[in-house]
Every structure is written in structure tokens, then in C-alpha cells.
């Protein structure tokens, strides 16, 4: 194979080429669900959900969506922060052959309108804090199915919201109530091929209006397997039973979607879910874990973390196995500071 200039920077254990399995992206969930069914897949502010529980909820939601009329090729919007509901809805939609459309939870009504019209959304998962924007959106764009949740519904001790408590529009659906109404855990009989569209990811919009990029199942499976190789000389030293990853990078962004969420499935890692980066909260959450296998981040996060007044108490050098920086250049001074 012809050598490319960038290949000299590959980690010693990263091959120049690999073969990829011809599977749809949602099949990655089957790896940990069958190998480590009782291991926590998610830790959301101390509330855990096992891989088997996650698999069952995904299948129940997939069948519930099927009963609502979601079909292969339909566009399903994910207007959610990092929370258990995102993973359930994401893999459920993919199981039906639907195409996930990632939407920034901070989008305004005009930004949501642009994304909805551009992609032809027929289903939208969203949450309580942005209901006013969704109401404004639905006055301008016809979205047949709107499903609303409250992220704290999946935190033990904080109670459960209802359609009435969230004051949802009559035609909208409540996430948990929709799930509770379907107990069917059979796999949907939908043929999903590697070449089928899987996700519509909007670009950053730095050169104008964000553009919708279509990614196939093969694209995302290949990307996940590629990312799993980088740093594997470190992460593989931790047995799958103890692997974990900090999931603070947003899933609606391709970095968090591949390098956190899908990486975790392939590596049977527990995701420490954090909806939004708030440095004091991050420091408090990290203190609850003796060892963390993988922390994908961006330079601004790393800068805030290592300069926090309580960071010395965390002893991060012993607590973190692999720290990854992406999305922007990391200054040499910051690299040296991290190494120290």
C-alpha cells in the first residue's frame, strides 16, 4: 500500500487499513448487551442502567414508534441533551431503518425550522426545557409525531413527569408513557443495509447556514472502529468489565456521537452521562469514580479542568486512563501542563 505522509503519525499499533463488519450501526448495542448484560451501560447522576435494560428499552421504543407509523427512511429528530432518553430514542429509530437527524438542544425556533424543513422531519424527540421553541416550530412546520421527555425522569428519587405535568399539546406523546404502553421486545423485522442512510449531521455553519451531511451506517460503523483503534494500547489495558467513558461531549455533535456513544458500545464501556459542561459539576462527578478509562474532550474543557482550584484533590493522573482532545488545536503549553 502506498504510504501517505500522515501515516507516520499513526500509533504503533494502528494498522494502515482494516476490514469493517457489514452491520447496521444499532447492532453495536448487541455487543455489550450479550457479553456484559448486567454491567451498567449508563450512569446518570448516580442512577445506573444495565446494557440489557438499555437493549430492552430500545426495542420497546422501536416497536412503539413502529405502531405510531415510523417507517424505514423516515427522518427522526433528536433534540435532546446527553441523557438516557437520547440513547434509547437513537438506537430505536435506527432499528426501524429511520434516519436520525441530530439537532442542537440550544437551537432557536428559526434554526429548528430550517433543520426540520431541510430534512423533512416526521418525528421529533425533544425535552421539557425547550417546549416553547417546539410549539413555535410546530405552528410553522407539520411534524406528525412529537415525543417529549424530562431528562430527570431517569434519575432515581426525582419523580416522574407526565403528559399533564409538562402541559403537552394533545397530539404530542410523553416519552415514558409511550414506552410504558409497549412491552414488545422483539427485534423489528426491517432490513437495514450498511449503505442505507443512518444520520443527518448538520455542519457548524461557520461559512453560512449549517448544511445537512448524510452519513450511512457503513460510514459510522467504520468511524467507530477506527476511533476504537486510537488509544487502544491504553484503553485495552482496562478489562471490559471495568471500562468507562466520560460522556460530556454532546451526542448531537459527530465527535460525541462516534467517539463517546458508539465507542462505548463497541468497547462495552459504562457511559458517565453529563448533559452539559459545567466545570464545578464535572469536578464533583469525577470525584465519584476511582478510575475512568477514557475522557474525550476539547481544549477548552481540558483548560478549565486542569486549572480548577479543586483539581489537585482529584489526582487526575491516577484517575484518568486516556485523555483525548479534539475539535480544535491543543496548544503545546496545555499538552505539557496535562503531562505534568
Residue extents of the structural domains in the chain: 5-21+216-339, 51-215
pLDDT tens column, 231-290: 999 999 999 999 999 999 999 999 999 999 999 999 999 999 999 999 999 999 999 999
Start-to-end Cα distance in the chain: 39
Q: How many CB atoms lie within 10 A of CB 145?
A: 20
> How far apart, in whole angstroms, are the C-alpha atoms of residue 340 and residue 329?
19
What pLDDT does residue 281 have?
Answer: 94
Task: Pinpoint the alpha helices (H) of 27-77.
Answer: 30-35, 51-68
Among 70-84, 196-210, 226-240, 320-334, the range scoring the smallest mean pLDDT is: 196-210
pLDDT at 1 over 60: no
pLDDT at 215 over 70: yes
* pTM, entire model: 0.94
> How far apart, in whole angstroms, are the C-alpha atoms of residue 273 and residue 246?
7
Q: Do domains 5-21+216-339 and 51-215 have the same CATH topology?
A: yes
134 in Cβ contact with 234 (< 8 Å): no
The third-level CATH classification (topology) of the domain covering 5-21+216-339 is Rossmann fold (3.40.50)
CATH number of 51-215: 3.40.50.980
Amino acid at each position: 500500500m502506498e504510504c501517505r505522509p500522515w501515516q507516520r503519525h499513526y500509533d504503533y499499533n494502528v494498522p494502515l487499513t482494516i476490514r469493517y463488519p457489514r452491520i447496521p450501526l444499532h447492532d453495536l448495542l448487541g455487543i455489550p448487551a450479550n457479553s456484559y448484560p448486567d454491567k451498567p451501560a449508563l450512569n446518570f447522576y448516580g442512577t445506573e442502567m444495565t446494557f440489557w435494560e438499555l437493549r430492552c428499552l430500545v426495542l420497546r421504543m422501536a416497536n412503539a414508534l413502529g405502531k405510531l407509523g415510523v417507517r424505514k427512511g423516515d427522518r427522526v429528530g433528536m433534540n435532546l441533551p446527553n441523557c438516557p432518553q437520547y440513547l434509547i430514542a437513537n438506537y430505536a429509530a435506527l432499528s426501524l431503518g429511520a434516519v436520525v437527524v441530530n439537532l442542537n438542544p440550544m437551537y432557536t425556533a428559526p434554526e429548528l425550522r430550517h433543520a426540520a424543513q431541510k430534512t423533512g422531519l416526521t418525528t421529533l424527540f425533544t425535552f421539557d426545557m425547550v417546549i416553547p421553541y417546539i410549539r413555535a416550530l410546530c405552528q410553522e412546520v407539520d411534524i406528525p409525531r412529537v415525543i417529549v421527555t424530562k431528562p430527570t425522569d431517569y434519575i432515581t428519587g426525582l419523580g416522574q413527569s407526565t403528559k399533564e405535568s409538562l402541559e403537552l399539546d394533545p397530539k404530542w406523546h410523553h416519552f415514558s408513557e409511550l414506552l410504558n404502553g409497549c412491552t414488545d421486545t422483539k427485534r423489528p423485522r426491517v432490513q437495514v443495509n450498511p449503505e442505507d442512510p443512518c444520520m443527518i449531521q448538520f455542519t457548524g455553519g461557520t461559512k453560512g447556514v449549517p448544511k445537512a451531511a448524510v452519513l450511512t451506517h457503513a460510514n459510522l460503523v467504520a468511524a467507530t472502529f477506527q476511533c476504537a483503534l486510537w488509544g487502544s494500547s491504553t484503553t485495552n489495558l482496562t478489562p471490559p468489565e471495568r471500562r468507562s467513558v466520560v460522556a460530556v461531549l454532546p451526542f448531537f455533535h459527530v465527535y460525541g456521537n462516534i467517539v463517546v456513544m458508539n465507542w462505548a458500545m463497541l468497547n462495552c464501556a459504562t457511559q458517565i452521562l453529563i448533559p452539559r459542561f459545567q466545570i464545578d459539576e464535572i469536578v464533583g462527578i469525577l470525584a465519584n469514580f476511582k478510575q475512568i478509562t477514557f475522557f474525550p474532550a476539547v481544549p477548552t474543557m481540558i483548560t478549565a479542568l486542569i486549572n480548577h482550584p479543586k483539581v489537585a484533590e482529584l489526582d487526575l493522573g491516577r484517575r484518568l486512563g486516556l485523555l483525548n482532545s479534539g475539535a480544535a488545536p491543543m496548544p503545546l503549553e496545555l499538552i505539557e501542563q496535562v503531562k505534568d
